[in-house]
Every structure is written in C-alpha cells, then in structure tokens.
Amino acid sequence: MKFFLSCGKGLEYLLADEITALGCQRASATIAGVNVEGELADAQRAVLWSRLASRVLWPLAEFYCDDEDVLYRSVNALPWQEHLDAGMTLAVDAHVSGDGITHERFAAQRVKDAVVDKMRAWCGDRPSVDVDAPDLRLNLVLRKGRAILSVDLGGGPMHRRGWRKVQGEAPLKETLAAAVLLRGGWPQVYADGGTLLDPMCGSGTLLIEGAEMAADVAPGLRRHGEVPPTRWLGFDTAGWWRMHDDALVRERKGRGALRHAFHGSDLDPHAIRAARENATAAGFRDAIAFDERQAGALLPRPEPRGLVVCNPPYDARLQADAALYAALGEALRHAVPGWRASLLCGSQALARATGLRAQKTYQLFNGALECSLLVCDPVKPAVLAPGEPRELSPGARMLANRLRKNLRALKAWRAREGVDCFRVYDADLPEYAAAIDVYTEADDPDAVWLHVQEYAAPKDIPEADVRRRFGEILAAARDVFGLPRERVATKVRARGKGGSKYAQDPGQAQRDERIVVREGAARLQVNLFDYLDTGLFLDHRPVRQRIAQEAEGRRFLNLFCYTGAATVQAAVGGAATTTSVDLSATYLQWLADNLQENGLGGYQHRLVQADALAWLEADMGIYDLVFCDPPTFSNSARADDFDLQREHVRLLQAAVARLSPDGVLYFSNNYRRFRLDEAAVPRFARCQDLGAASIPPDFARNPRIHQAWRLRPL
C-alpha cells in the first residue's frame, strides 16, 4: 500500500531516510513530502516516531475530478459507514490547484457535505463538525484534475510534541528543530559523549528536541494523551497501544541513562523563563542548564567535542542583523573551536556573515521563510584542506560572484519546476570559456557534482593563460559549491596537430561510476567522468517534459535513443509501449539499466540494436509519439554513413509514415548549421518550429544549443 508523509520544504530526503529506518521498504522524496510503500502498521509507527513528518496521510480513494459535482459524487459514493460512526466528529482539510476548483474551503465543504449526506442516508443521523479536535480528520489534495482523499492518521499537525507551555516571539517548529539537529549529527555526537549547546535558545525548542532524541522519547508519545490519534474505524487501535507501550518502556530506559549534556543561554530573561517552563513540562528540568547571557559573551567550554545549534533572529519581525551573526561566529570560534555547528540562518548572506567555513549548507524553510542551514565541522578548522587555495585570485573571485548571481537567478525556476540537474554557467565571462553543469543525486540533495567543459580558446591565447584560467574556473566552482576535487568532472580541449580536440582531462582517472539523478518523476543514471557526454543532455529537458506529459496510454518510439532518457520519461508518464532503437549495445544496456532503476521492464519496453534509419524504413509498426534526435554525422562500420543535413527529409518522411493519424513526432538536433528543408517537409507533415519553447532557462545564453520541431501527419 502506498501512503504519503508531508513535511516542510527541505526536509524531504531526511524524512525518506527516517521512514526507511523505521522499517518501510521503499520511500521516495517528492516536493514537501515522501511517498511510502508499506502497511498500516508502518504508517501508525510514523505517527508515533517520526520527528520530521507534518502529517501521515492514508489514502481512501483517488479519482478524476474537474468540478464540484464530480467531487461530491465521488466522495459520496464511498462506503463511509466503514470509516466512521454517525456520532463521531469530522473535519476536512483541502489543498487544491488548477482550474476546476480553486477555493480550498469550498472543496473541504463539499467533501464534508458528501460524507454527512451519505451517513444520514445510511442511518438517519450524521456526524458533526469539530475543526480543532475531530474524531476523524480527512485530507483532500486536488491537483491537475486528480483528487486524493486520505485519512490524516495523526489527527493534525505532528510538530506538536505536547510539552510546549510558553512560546517565544518567533517559535521554531519542532520538526524543523529536529532537522537542524540531525543535519548536525547530534545522535552520533551524543553517542560519542558530546554536549549540546544553544547560545540563543529562545523558548528552548532545539535543546528539548535534542534531549528527547538522546532519551529515545517518541515524539508522538504525549501528543494525544491517553487517546489514540484518530478514531477512524480502520485504525488498528490494539496495534497502536502495543507501539505506545513499547515506546514508554524505551522512554523510561532512555531517561534513566540520560547525561546532563545540554546547555542553553539567551540575552532575554523572559525567553529563559519560557525555556525552563517548557523543559520542566517535557521532563528535562534537571537535564538542561540555562543561563542569561549574550551570545557574544560565551565562555570556552571544557568538553572537547559537542554540537552547537542555533536559530539566530532573521525574519522581518526580529530584524536580522549581520553584525549579530558576525559576533556569533567569532564567539563560537573562541568558545568551541573543535565542535560541530548547525546554525539555521536567515539567508546565505547571513550565513556568510558568521565568518564560519561551511562543510555543507542546506536550503530549509521556516514556514514561508527560506533559510540557510550552515553545518561546520569543526567550527574553526586548524588548517586548510591539502591542496586547497588559501585565497581566490581576483579573476576567480569575479567568476565565483557570477556563479552565485546565476544560482540566485535560477532559484525560483528550479524550485517551481523541481530541477535538480542544470547548467549554472555558460561562458558568461568570455575570458572564462567553459560550461558548468550541476548534477544532484536523486536520493541525497546535498550530494552535488559538477561537470565542467572547457570551450576552445582563440589560437592567439597562450596555452599557459588557457590553463591558468581553467584552474581559476575550477577554484571558483569548488569555492561556491563547497566541493572536494573528486566531485568535479572536467572535460578539456587539448591542442594537437589537427587543432583543438575535445577530451577528458588526462589527469582524471577512469572511474566506471554512475550516479542516479532525478528529472521530474524519472530516475536516470549518469556517468560524469568516463565519457565525453554524461548520459543526459540537459538542454533537451523541455522536450522530454512534453513527452512525459503526452505519453499516457500511447505507443512511443525513440530513434537514436542514446541512453534512453526520453524513453524512461515516456514509460514513467504511462506509455502503453516503448520502442527504442540505437546501434550501440552500450547505450541500450544503459537504457535497460535506466528502466530497471525506475522499476520498469517487460515485453512492453522493446530495445532494438540497429541502424535507426534502415530499421525505420523496414518497420511496419504504428506509433502515437515519436522522438528523433539524430547525430550530425555517423560513419560506423556497422551501418551506412549518415549525414543529418543530407538525410533528414528521408528520415522525417519515414518517421511520419509510422505515425497514427493523431500522432506526434518531436525532431531535434544539435547541429548548429542545420537547415530544415522547408520546401520538402510540408509535403508530408505539418511542421511547427518549437523555437525558444524548447530551450530551458538555464541554456538561455546559448539559444542555438539545439533546434527542435513538432511534426504531425497531414
């Protein structure tokens, strides 16, 4: 059974790891949540033990929905007598997007009406509404015409732990506090005998959450008191109490062994009083030591190892102050130089203001406020990493600033489209002629790799200058992304007798290593080091998105399929069948691996090793959706010579002949001097030049990176 855990943005991969550690076999991160495969017991365990999930949603029904009448009828058709009694109370939360239904409160009202009317028709009585503490809380998600109606197994927001008596001016949610602690490695730090320190503790959230982790206290143990989290009739109440009793046993054991390793301070005496009250309510009055002190006045800690956590002020109400962040950084370097630090800062600029060197940075959200989580280990490094430049050259600093500017410019688009792999730089500064692509691993958003391709320099540029500038490119990129040398793949131009030649960096060893990245709903394997191409052409992303959106129920053909990224997108998008043709056995095996990576296989996905043009002219199949992205030239010994400019009319005519009456052919190529035969093609197809629509924003500086057309039969 599949169910869903929602969470704050930026916590998805942590939550996927957490739910897997709780026993679920498969969990995949998506935007603001995790899709999980498991049993009802797994979902109930998440309600009790997840520190990061906001809600646990157990689906009751999924259906097509384009207006309020369909919503009402679909919900009313469900057997509600199996889910609640007439004497119970009910609440509905709704989240909608699209054109059919646009108001969330209205959607929730229609769901409530459908349930109430069904129960009244069944037994003559109806449940009442209780928006604060209902017996059954339902959750509706309506997006792109598809509705999912679920039971909220936790009965409401799960960040509430049941101990908070007083909150500060800008309280930190407990789920986000857990993420700050986990990213800082607190469980391992505590297991190794370390201490937890919060020099701006506010109402004590980070310290209390850290103490609960150390004491093995289930975060949902006291959220609901002595009643289960929901009275849904499908809930396994007996199983819940067994888990609950086991959690009590673990808590007693954990509290009994807890070390007094928690220290908090704050300048505000009211905050200290609130923190003490909350710690007492949570049962940690004697375990956490509080004192009234400015963060800049921290005294050196005697413990050799520990974790300092902090949520300095940064929102509009508390007036973020870069000088405060600088003072905090200086105090930490003095007081705890050998410790780890996990600091939730208001922005990257404020994080940099601390002056601390980040081991990693993470993008998190405190409600709607975007934050930067800065993780350092240690707070004050003794020496720079071997071989790392002590200071960027002026040119490298200029390039680093451009990279940061580009990242900011692309951020909103990347967040909106869910783009993890993208081009961040494309010879923006002419003297630094290279393209830099970012690849993020599918299962770890913090595992970032760079692919740097050098462009040919003019012949009048001395080779020494070319090498120096390329070194500055690498130094700037590593500085901006905080990456070691082994996570940067380089492809360089080598000058030889025949002129410039594009090649792998001769100093870069073959690694035979693939990483898995995400594009939309698809998982794709790329190899950044061993080939000139990585296995994924990033500039073709918009065309692949079109294919994924149009593939459902259709017969898909991929000519010159390469590693099959378009095939995987079609298959993930619900294609009835896929056929992929390429002459290379290496590429076809790569495609097979990509299909397997997505849990796809079987007779409906056909892989054909053949000369694509010859196979196409002999094939008698009919296809609804075709993708054709041929090479510019090919002179393989196993096939006839191929010249795209010379053969493209023949190729397109053969492909259109294989289309169903309402079929679509997407044709693209990367030959900059290619010219479509605009006289011949209209004789057999309606042709639309996709133009700028096929160029993604990260390739806007290079609009001739490829050309693309959409063809339909006459």
Q: Which phi and psi angles does 42 have, rounded to 5°?
A: -65, -40
**Which pLDDT belongs to residue 601?**
81
pLDDT at residue number 586? 92
Residue 348, amino acid: Q
Per-residue pLDDT averaged across 518-531, rounded?
94
What's the pTM? 0.66
Please report, rounded to a whole number, the percentage of residues in the chain having pLDDT higher than 70: 94
- When pLDDT is cut at 50, 70 and 90, the band that residue 496 belongs to is very low
Give the DSSP H/E element, type plus range, for residue 415. helix 394-417
Tell me what pLDDT residue 511 has: 62
- Residue-range domains of the chain with CATH: 2-152 (3.30.2130.30), 174-215+258-376 (3.40.50.150), 394-504 (3.30.750.80), 537-713 (3.40.50.150)
Report, as an integer, the average pLDDT of 518-543: 94
What is the Cα–Cα distance from 317 to 14, expressed in whole angstroms? 29
pLDDT at 680 over 80: yes
Distances in Å between the Cα of 270 and the Cα atoms of 165, 267, 465, 690 are: 13, 9, 61, 62
Which residues face 97 on adjacent strands?
A: 143
Residue with tokens 């079109």: 546
Which band of pLDDT confidence, cut at 50, 70 and 90, is reported for residue 315?
low
Q: What is the pLDDT of residues 259-298, one digit of tens each?
A: 999 999 999 999 999 999 999 999 999 999 999 999 888 9
Cα of first residue to Cα of last residue in the chain, in angstroms, is 46
Q: How far is the CA of 416 from the CAs of 4, 31, 96, 145, 521, in angstroms?
A: 21, 10, 16, 19, 14
What pLDDT was estimated at residue 263?
97
Could you give the CA distance from residue 690 to residue 692 in angstroms, rounded to a whole number? 6
Report the C-alpha gap between 342 and 194 in whole angstroms: 14
Cβ partners under 8 Å of residue 191, min gap 6: none
Answer yes or no: is pLDDT of 61 > 50: yes
pLDDT for 502 equals 44
pLDDT band at 358 (very low <50, low <70, confident <90, very high): confident
pLDDT at 379: 93
Residue 207: CB atoms within 10 Å? 29
Asked whether the predicted pLDDT for residue 571 surpasses 50, the reply is yes
Pairing of strands 422-426, 369-376: unpaired
pLDDT at 193: 95
What tokens does 422 get?
Answer: 């993208």
Query: pLDDT by residue (tens digit) across 376-385?
Result: 989 987 654 4
pLDDT at 501: 42
Whether the predicted pLDDT of 171 surpasses 80: no
Position with higher pLDDT, 509 vs 428: 428
The pLDDT score that the predictor gives to residue 497 is 35
Radius of gyration of the chain (CA): 29
Cα dist. 39→24, 43, 82, 153, 348 in Å? 8, 7, 19, 13, 40
Structure tokens at 5: 């855990």
Does residue 548 register a pLDDT over 90? yes
Q: How confident is the model at residue 169 (pLDDT cuts 50, 70, 90)?
A: low
| pLDDT exceeds cutoff 90 at 461 | no
Which of 140-149, 197-206, 314-323, 342-351 comes out lowest in average pLDDT?
A: 314-323
Q: Is the pLDDT of residue 318 over 50?
A: no
Beta strands 499-504 and 488-496 are: antiparallel
**Given pLDDT bands bounded at 50, 70 and 90, which one contains residue 569?**
very high
Q: What is the pLDDT of residue 170?
A: 62
* pLDDT confidence band for 317 (50 / 70 / 90): very low
Tokens of 4: 């869903």
pLDDT of residue 350: 87
Task: Indicate the pLDDT class of residue 357, thresholds 50, 70 and 90.
Answer: confident
DSSP, collapsed to helix, strand or coil, labels residue 112 as helix
Span 594-612, average pLDDT? 92
pLDDT mean across residues, the chain: 91
Q: Are 306 and 196 in contact (CB under 8 A)?
A: yes
Amino acid 446: pLDDT? 82
What are 659's strand-pairing partners?
Answer: 623
Note the pLDDT tens digit of each residue in 9-27. Answer: 989 989 999 999 999 988 9
Q: Are strands 434-440 and 499-504 parallel, antiparallel or unpaired?
A: unpaired
For the ranges 39-53, 164-178, 527-541, 554-568, the lowest mean pLDDT is seen at 164-178
**What sections of 227-337 are H helices per DSSP?**
237-256, 269-281, 322-335
Contact criterion met (CB below 8 Å) for 463 and 377: no
Q: Apex CA 313: angle with CA 307 and CA 318, to 5°?
A: 165
Residue 131 has pLDDT above 80, yes or no: yes
- The average pLDDT across 502-507 equals 50
